[in-house]
Amino acid sequence: MEYTPIEIVEQLDKNIIGQKDAKRAVAVALRNRYRRSLLSLDIAEEITPKNIIMKGPTGVGKTEIARRLAKLVKAPFIKVEATKFTEVGYVGRDVESMVKDLVEASIRLVKDERIKFVEVKAKDMAERKIAAAIAKSKTKNLPEVDMESYTGDVLADLKNGVYDTLMIDVEVKESTKPVEITNGAGAGTEINFGDMFGGMFGNKAKKRKKASVTDALVLIANEEAEKLIDIDSVNAEGIRRAENEGIIFIDEIDKICGSSGGSGPNVSREGVQRDILPLVEGSTVTTKYGPVRTDFVLFIAAGAFHVSRFSDLIPELQGRFPINVELKSLTKDDYFNILTSTESSVIKQYKTLLAVDNVNLIFKEEALLEIAEIALEINSTNEDIGARRLHTIMENILEEVSFNAGGDQPMADTIIDKAYVNSHLTRDLKSQDLSKYII
């Protein structure tokens, strides 16, 4: 389904409160991608994404907007922190690794889609394999057995769950983890020695393991599904999606503002900016799946910009982020709506969690208003950490009931009102940090 900008904002509103300007900016950027996909190739090649930079305090929704946006349209998405990268020549991750990670995410997305398409057939093949193995084991000492008929009976029982807990031996491919080179020539490259030597000597090594029929079905079905899909086609489609639909979210970009030099985490901050620049401008990165162009990848950067300013970035990088949106600090109404109006609100999460232990949390509106007031007050007098403050407050309020819940107790109501909120907040949380007012 292709969403209009208005529909995209409506979808984002279900999980993110406020920040209309940022939502409108990403909605238009996303819709422009769809518009570009309908153009002729010669015109489409000239239209590049308008990258976005978000400025605002932590916990107001910068990352969540980008993450929900990618999830909405099933686009390849990765989040990276600018502070994790170093200039080429230093020990650490180079900026090209973010493109390699995007390709991995894109291929995984395509592979999951293809496997889902063949999962029914793969499960059927796995069931037949396991039924044949069980039938062979049961009849090895029985003469003159109609194996086809007997295997059919075993298969029917297997489908009905008769053999779910039966332990059997299964052969599965042995997976090996890739080793990443983090220094010197080829830094950021991953080498899978298992794949390398497996390819030299034939198929991947297999290992035998004991598993219940239920677990064995999953293992064998996954292997059968991989045989049914064309991995070369998956890789090609993954690269295509990464190039044309990929979203890279660069967080804490304000932390790499400043000149080169220094030591420790501040080493060569301007150098990192200059390394990011070719990716944002459009370049080709070599990955183990083939070359990947970044010309049409959408880059969304974010930072608090408390100490530095957007103008402190190198001019070339500023020019590659033409859309600037400022996210505002949250108000009391925002905190209240975060608690009550979002699809996966903190309140719903705690109610669901504690219902497992037969605790029925009932939140009065006065309690939620008080929590919103407290969150606003603490963020005003301490560091402003936005909506994350709600998690701290909720943990304090519900610590006692969470600790005492459990066992065989019957379902019981726990009413959270304003008095309950104030009586269960810890002394440390109630106290305000007045140090910022000392002259």
**Rounded Cα gap, residues 117 and 237, in angstroms:** 15
Identify the residue whose tokens are 């949380």: 429
So what's the pLDDT on residue 100? 92
Start-to-end C-alpha separation, the chain: 57
Q: Where are the alpha helices (DSSP H) in 229-345?
A: 231-245, 269-281, 315-319, 332-340
Structure tokens at 201: 């000597």
CA separation (Å) from 418 to 2, 268, 342, 375? Answer: 44, 51, 22, 14
Residue 428 CA, chain-centre distance (Å), reads 33
**Rounded Cα gap, residues 209 and 89, in angstroms:** 45
Q: Could you state, in chain order, the average pLDDT of each consecutive group of 10 residues for the chain (439 residues)?
A: 85 86 88 88 87 86 85 87 75 83 93 90 88 81 73 85 83 64 51 54 67 86 88 92 90 76 56 86 90 91 83 86 87 88 86 89 90 88 83 88 81 87 71 45
CA separation (Å) from 129 to 75, 209, 211, 221? Answer: 36, 16, 15, 10
**Rounded Cα gap, residues 146 and 156, in angstroms:** 16
Q: For the packed helices 346-355 and 388-404, what is the interaxial angle rounded to 10 degrees?
A: 20
**Rounded Cα gap, residues 120 and 245, in angstroms:** 29
So what's the pLDDT on residue 427? 55
Residue 429 belongs to what H/E stretch? helix 427-430
Q: For the packed helices 346-355 and 332-340, what is the interaxial angle rounded to 10 degrees?
A: 40
Burial 319-332 (b: 16+ CB within 10 A, else e): ebbebebebeebee
**Rounded Cα gap, residues 51 and 301, in angstroms:** 8
Q: Cβ atoms within 10 A of the Cβ of 213, count?
A: 21
Burial 174-206 (b: 16+ CB within 10 A, else e): eeeeeeeeeeeeebbbeeeebeeebeeeeeeee
Q: What is the dihedral of CA 226, 228, 233, 239, to 10 degrees?
A: -30
Q: Amino acid letter at 416? A: I
**Rounded Cα gap, residues 169 and 92, in angstroms:** 43
So what's the pLDDT on residue 422? 86
**What domains, with CATH codes, occur in the chain?**
5-104+243-326 (3.40.50.300), 113-236 (no CATH), 332-427 (1.10.8.60)
So what's the pLDDT on residue 101? 92
Contact 134, 154 (CB under 8 A): yes
